Structure 1
């Protein structure tokens, strides 16, 4: 039996950076996003310039962003 991951509404309140592959650090803009936490990673999705964007970050980094207040869960 498998369960679908839960999508959580969140808000980026301070700089949240991630690295896409071996590329440079990119910043998720402040504002509304959705989060799915599954296993050892969190996937954040948002819209930027009317384009859907997403980033997968390690769960340990996601937890650090929550602890610092950069990501606030349960907001729309």
Structure 2
């Protein structure tokens, strides 16, 4: 089930073997699976998504860089 959240700090993800990319601050949709979390967001007319290991997602939550909406 998707949750809504806000990026409020520096949150990065990696596409394949490429460099870390930053998810811009603002609202995101979060789907969690057994091993990863997928974050989806819109930038103007572009739809973006990023998958990250659950351990990284949990760290961003603990650090207050991602906040889940109630």
Q: TM-score, normalised by structure 1?
A: 0.89
Runs of 4+ in 1 over 4 A off after TM superposition: none
Q: Return the offset for 1:14.
A: 0.3
Match of 2:42 in 1: 47
Matched, 1:66 2:61: yes
CA RMSD, Structure 1 to Structure 2 (Å): 0.9
The correspondence of residues 8-19 of structure 1 with structure 2, limited to 5 A, is 8-19=3-14
Partner Cα distance (2:35, 2:44) in 1: 29
Structure 2 gap ranges (5+): none
SS of residue in 2 equivalent to 1:21: coil
| Bigger-Rg structure (1/2) | 1
Q: Return the offset for 1:74.
A: 1.1
Structure 1 gap ranges (5+): 1-5
